[in-house]
Amino acid sequence: MAHTPCLRVLYDDQHQWLYAQWYGRLNEAVAKEGCALLLEHQRAQRTTKLLNDNILITHPWAEGISWGAREWLPAMATAGLRYLAWVYSPHLLSRMVFDQSQLDVVFPMAAAFDDVAQAVEWLQNQQPEVGAALSSRQW
C-alpha cells in the first residue's frame, strides 16, 4: 500500500486491479502528486483495471478531471490500463465535469458509478486482453 495526503493506493490481488481511494480536500498539487503515484504503480504492476474511488473527497479540484483526461489517462493507458471504474464524489460539479470530460476520451474505457459495489461489478465483467501482463506484487 502507498499513500499521499489525499490518496491511498493498493493492489487488489484477488481481482488483479489497482484500487485508488481519494479523500479530503484536493488541490492541484496533491491531485497531481496522487496521479503520479498511481502512474508509478500502474507502470510497475501493469494491471488492466483501476477502481478509482472518490466518495471521501470533501473538496474536489474541479480542473483536475479535465487535466487528468488530457494528460494522466493517456499515460495510464500507455502503461497498460484498459478499464477505469470511476466512483463519483458526492459533489455535483465534480460529477458534471467528469461526465463532460469523458466525451473526448476513447481509451481507456471508463464508466462512472454512484457506489463502489456497482464499480466492482462492472470491473469484474471486463475481460483483460489476451496476453496482458498481470502481476501479483503488492505494496
Mean pLDDT lowest for which of 35-49, 55-69, 92-106? 92-106
Cell of 96: 458534471
Average pLDDT, the chain: 83
pLDDT at residue number 3? 87
* pTM summary value: 0.84
Q: Is the pLDDT reported for residue 39 higher than 50? A: yes
pLDDT at residue number 59? 86
pLDDT at residue number 139? 31
pLDDT at residue number 95? 61
Q: Is the pLDDT reported for residue 135 higher than 50? A: no
On the 0-12 / 13-18 / 19+ scale of CB atoms within 10 A, 119 is buried
Query: What residue type is assigned to position 96 of the chain?
Result: M
Could you tell me the pLDDT band of residue 65, with boundaries at 50, 70 and 90?
A: confident
Could you tell me the pLDDT band of residue 136, with boundaries at 50, 70 and 90?
A: very low
Q: Fill in the DSSP letter of residue 16.
A: T
Q: How far apart are CA 63 and CA 98, in angstroms?
A: 10
Q: Fill in the DSSP letter of residue 134.
A: -
Classify the phi-psi angles of 47: left when phi > 0, otherwise alpha if psi is within -120 to 50, otherwise beta: beta
Instruction: Please write the tens of the pLDDT for every residue from 76-133.
Output: 999 999 999 989 888 766 666 666 655 555 568 888 899 999 999 999 999 865 444 4
pLDDT at residue number 33? 95
Tell me if 5 sits within 8 A of 30, measured CB to CB: yes
